[in-house]
Amino acid sequence: MMSTTMGHEPNGTPGWPKTAKEWLFTLDHKVIGVWYLIASLAAFAVAGMAATLMRIELGSVGPDITSDGNIYNLWLTMHGAVMILGFQIPALLGFVANYAVPIMIGAKDMAFPRVNALSIWMLWSGILTALANLIIPDHFNGMWTGYPPYSLTDLAGNTALYTTVVVTIGMSSVLGAVNLASTVAFMRCKGMGWFQMPITVWAVFTANIMQLIFVPVLAASVLLLSLDKYLGFGFFNPEVGGDVLLYQNLFWFYSHPAVYVILLPFMGIIFEIFSTSAKNMVFSYKTTVYAFLAFIPASGDVWVHHAFIAGLPDWLRVLQSFTTLLISLPFGLLMLSLVATMYKGSIQYTGPMLWAMGGWMMLVFGGLTGIPNALSSVDYGISDSYVIMSHFHYVMAVSGSMAIFAGVFWWFPKLTGRRCKESWTKLSAIGFFVGMNVVMGPLYIAGIAGMPRRYMDYQQFADNTTIVNMQYISTIGLYITFASVLLMLFTWIHGMLKGEKSTQNPWGSQSLEWTSTALIAGQGNFPSPVSVAKDWHPYNYIDNPKPAFSSS
């Protein structure tokens, strides 16, 4: 019998562990979830600072704060890699998956609590290794994509660090994915069928299935980089019969699905908040679930749209241009379902709802601006320009961040027992939304005017008034965003320390984490095993049967 100090057998006491030892050696999925949250927010801070420095540098033509290409490219590499691998994926597949999913399905913990602890500490070591890149003299600056042959040159710096970070975080993700998928498949409480799971759970589950399929390919591709660079293997070296394009094919075979690994869970959060705020059943719930699942096959055959101009055969370009367009079907259905969930609702505009609406709106812009990029011939004019950069910031980076922060505000009362100040929450949501639109909207226009991405300067476009003006406006947007992030942090800290005490179910949710555990759930989540009836549903607000507890 496992000792109760390990933290996942029910002991009947609500609240967080009290000692540092319990926090460090915990097997409790909720505590591990919080560790994920801390790691991802720290990563957001670092990667956000990198973005801030870049945006200031780009505010005008010529050097503003640095004239050293290596320093700028370090910021750029750190921004991309840390935002994706350190912030978004751990926040969604770490924090949401670990903290929220088990309580949402009425489980006492994850299926493999020790594996879970291993995953989080592997993630931390991965993130700390990534941060070491800021200190070491031969820092890696080959971009988060690490394309060879550049990443194999001395100029790119320490490629082994890049390989190590990606493989470590990748292994952590695979372990987490096995764990989460098993948890959802086998640990649902008595009576909960597959189609009685919250959409968030479905979304995280689908994303983890995709991780299991695609992450190994990414791990392999970055391992090959180091084999090439340090042991002279030559997979990507044309002089000995290798091919530089092999890497791009392998890399994007994972990294396009990775977009959905991020997108699906954050859409899950938006669904959760939309449905609960409108007190309405998720529109056509089953169809919505199938639309999520459709991303698994649909995402496996579209990677070439990241390489339309990379010298691949024309037939492959037009073929995957078409398969890429097909993504619009499941995506469109999800977007319709989100809006239709509002129909005849009773919508309450709470702070988290405003954050979720911001994420949704960014997703609308992001989804639509994906359509031109999917057309191979249109892409010839905009590939590797700000059009692409702006598009994926809308569709994934900003919308994802807004949804993640919506989730943090959503579960904040469960995490702390207190409420954030609503007016500050709303103000920060509006500020972030406006700020990021002022950053990314003008950059889309600059992209149409020809501005390439990954540039530290643009003196060749000094006569191009569109580009020069848009860069300037974009930098103003940065300051608005920066201020709203500070306000958000302040709101969290204030809420944690001085916020008004929360009631048990502040949002009026029907999901188990709000209805059937203590506000701050203790070890084992539920004092005794919970069960739900056949006609119970997490989004039934009208005549939902109450969950029952067995006295075992």
Stretches 261-269, 340-348, 411-419, 477-485: which one binds another protein (CB under 8 A)?
Answer: 340-348
Contact between 328 and another protein by CB under 8 A: the answer reads: yes
Q: Which of 19, 344, 497, 498 binds another protein (CB under 8 A)?
A: 344
Stretches 39-47, 243-251, 262-270, 522-530: which one binds another protein (CB under 8 A)?
Answer: 243-251
Structure tokens at 219: 């791990």
Give the per-residue contact string, 29-48, with another protein (x = CB under 8 A; - = no): --------------------
Site for another protein in 248-287 (CB under 8 A): 278-281, 283-284, 286-287
Q: Which of 3, 137, 231, 314 binds another protein (CB under 8 A)?
A: 314
Kind plus residue range of the DSSP H or E element containing 270? helix 244-278
- For residue 401, the Cα-to-chain-centroid distance in whole angstroms is 7
- Backbone dihedral angles phi then psi of residue 531, each to the nearest 5 degrees: -145, 155
- 121 near 54, Cβ under 8 Å? no
Structure tokens at 179: 């764990």
**What are the Cα distances from residue 2, in Å, to 9, 150, 532?**
8, 51, 28
Contact between 332 and another protein by CB under 8 A: the answer reads: yes
Nearest distance, CB of residue 393 and another protein, angstroms: 17
Contact between 321 and another protein by CB under 8 A: the answer reads: yes
Q: How far apart are CA 40 and CA 133, in angstroms?
A: 17
Contact between 349 and another protein by CB under 8 A: the answer reads: yes
Q: Which is nearer to another protein, 242 or 351 (CB)?
A: 242
Structure tokens at 30: 């909720």
SS3 assignment, position 162: helix
Site for another protein in 138-197 (CB under 8 A): 141, 143, 145, 147, 149-150, 153, 155-156
- Backbone dihedral angles phi then psi of residue 510, each to the nearest 5 degrees: -105, 0
Nearest distance, CB of residue 72 and another protein, angstroms: 8
Q: Which of 26, 40, 52, 73 binds another protein (CB under 8 A)?
A: 73
Contact between 65 and another protein by CB under 8 A: the answer reads: no
- Backbone dihedral angles phi then psi of residue 12, each to the nearest 5 degrees: 80, -5
Stretches 25-33, 63-71, 98-106, 190-198: which one binds another protein (CB under 8 A)?
Answer: 63-71
Q: What is the C-alpha end-to-end distance of the chain, expressed in Å?
A: 17
Give the per-residue contact string, 433-472, with another protein (x = CB under 8 A; - = no): ---------------x-x-x-xxxxxxxx-----------
Kind plus residue range of the DSSP H or E element containing 530? strand 530-531
Q: Which is nearer to another protein, 120 or 406 (CB)?
A: 406
Q: How far apart are CA 237 and CA 267, in angstroms?
A: 41
Contact between 68 and another protein by CB under 8 A: the answer reads: yes
Q: Which residues pair with 549 in a beta bridge?
A: 530
Structure tokens at 53: 């420095």
Stretches 305-313, 398-406, 416-424, 525-533: which one binds another protein (CB under 8 A)?
Answer: 305-313
Q: How far apart are CA 396 and CA 394, in angstroms?
A: 6
Q: Is the peptide bond before 506 cis (omega within 30 degrees of 0)?
A: no
Stretches 44-52, 121-129, 216-224, 373-381: which one binds another protein (CB under 8 A)?
Answer: 373-381
Contact between 533 and another protein by CB under 8 A: the answer reads: no
**What are the Cα distances from residue 537, in Å, to 21, 162, 511?**
38, 45, 8
Q: Which is nearer to another protein, 164 or 383 (CB)?
A: 383
Number of shown-chain residues binding another protein (CB under 8 A): 87
Q: Which of 13, 377, 423, 504 binds another protein (CB under 8 A)?
A: 377
